[in-house]
């Protein structure tokens, strides 16, 4: 995975009219050119993005799409597409050559997948589809990121008050992933300022234990609106976790999910004694952190096959299934050692 990544003001586009196709294509081309893609690779990226967004416009329900530079890696452009139906009954068939949804460019998902450097998809009939594609400047295949995060502002707001950061920590012998999620109090720019401050403080010392980081964030947010904060360090078999306020932390495995403990309070303003907790991490389990812009009531067993997919698709699927448009929302997912192609 990339050494460091963090949230920006990523822009979600509603795929409700043909104008969305051109808008997202232009965004993808601008990002590709800024990342140093040559003309041929830029054109391939534009064609695949156009096909993906066209499918949303013509066939999806509540389709939204985002393109962004992969956080921490400016040589990769990432597309994330989410919708709520009708879904695909046979994803494997959709990826075969010669299969195309009617009315689109006709290149089909198989060609889209080949144009990308990495892709992953999850779809359920009647529930919708999540598609993530990554395009590298060289065109060479890339591996699935071990961690991924997404944020989305409330309603029609442009600025999101929730932020996240991801850092590769530890040494080569014992790799770790450390993640931060901050939900700034309220909405809009004051909340975003608090959460951006939390990210900046986190990135200055990612080698600290979660408890030490949380203590530093609590002190550092005193001149902001404050917010709920959680820090998790994910190793191959354990998770160290320290949280303050209503960030939800979960370990999701084959036997369901297990909650991680945050203490009540508001970072920067009030807190009980801060604590760090240690949890076992079963093999192939996924660590999930999310703000209260996602309901806690989601059930992994009701999302057939989602947690077998990459962390990027899991994050997008959770945002679709559990996210609310009545609050800022943010979700981060980690699965150590996930080398899915």
For the chain, give every domain's residue range: 10-136, 147-334
How far is the first Cα of the chain from the last one, in angstroms, to the nearest whole number? 13
Region 147-334: CATH code: 3.60.40.10
Q: What is the pLDDT of residue 16?
A: 87
What pLDDT score was predicted for residue 70? 78
Residue 13: what pLDDT? 94
Q: Across the strands, what pairs with 217?
A: none
Is the model more confident about 125 or about 102?
125
pLDDT given at position 166:
94
Q: Which two tokens stand for residue 55?
A: 């499918």
What is the fold of 10-136? Heat Shock Protein 90 (3.30.565)
Q: What pLDDT is attached to residue 88?
A: 72
What are the helix and strand counts (H, E) for the chain?
A: 7, 18
Q: Record the pTM.
A: 0.91
Average pLDDT, the chain: 89
User: Could you say which DSSP state residue 328 is in?
Assistant: -
pLDDT surpasses 70 at 71: no
- Summarised one tens digit per residue, pLDDT across range 237-258 is 999 999 999 999 999 999 999 9
> CB atoms < 10 A from the CB of 72, how many?
17
104: confidence class by pLDDT, cuts 50, 70, 90? very low
- Of residues 90 and 326, which shows the higher confidence score? 326
pLDDT (tens digit per residue) in 117-147: 999 999 888 888 999 999 999 888 888 889 9
């Amino acid at each position: 995975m990339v050494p460091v990544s963090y949230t920006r003001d990523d822009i979600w586009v509603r795929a409700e009219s043909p104008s969305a196709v051109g808008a997202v294509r232009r965004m993808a081309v601008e990002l590709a050119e800024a990342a140093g893609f040559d003309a041929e690779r830029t054109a391939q990226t534009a064609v695949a993005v156009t096909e993906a967004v066209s499918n949303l416009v013509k066939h999806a329900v509540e389709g939204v799409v985002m393109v962004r530079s992969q956080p921490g890696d400016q040589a990769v452009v990432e597309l994330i597409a989410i919708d709520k139906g009708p879904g695909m009954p046979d994803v494997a068939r959709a990826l075969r050559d010669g299969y195309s949804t009617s009315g689109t460019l006709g290149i089909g998902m198989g060609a889209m997948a080949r144009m990308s450097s990495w892709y992953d998809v999850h779809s359920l009939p009647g529930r919708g589809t999540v598609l993530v594609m990554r395009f590298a400047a060289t065109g060479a295949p890339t591996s699935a990121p071990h961690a991924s995060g997404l944020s989305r502002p409330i309603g029609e707001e442009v600025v999101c008050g929730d932020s996240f950061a991801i850092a590769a920590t530890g040494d080569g012998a014992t790799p770790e992933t450390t993640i931060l999620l901050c939900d700034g109090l309220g909405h809009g720019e004051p909340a975003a300022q608090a959460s951006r401050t939390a990210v900046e403080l986190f990135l200055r010392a990612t080698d600290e234990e979660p408890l030490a980081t949380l203590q530093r964030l609590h002190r550092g947010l005193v001149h902001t609106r404050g917010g709920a904060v959680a820090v998790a360090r994910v190793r191959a078999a354990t998770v160290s976790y320290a949280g303050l306020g209503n960030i939800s932390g979960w370990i999701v495995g084959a036997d369901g999910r297990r909650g991680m403990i945050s203490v009540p309070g508001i970072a920067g303003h009030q807190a009980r004694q801060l604590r760090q907790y240690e949890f076992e991490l079963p093999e192939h389990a996924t660590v999930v952190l999310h703000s209260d812009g996602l309901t806690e009531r989601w059930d992994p067993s009701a999302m057939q096959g989602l947690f077998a997919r990459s962390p990027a698709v899991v994050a997008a699927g959770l945002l679709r299934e559990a996210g609310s448009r009545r609050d800022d929302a943010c979700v981060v997912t980690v699965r150590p050692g996930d080398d899915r192609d």
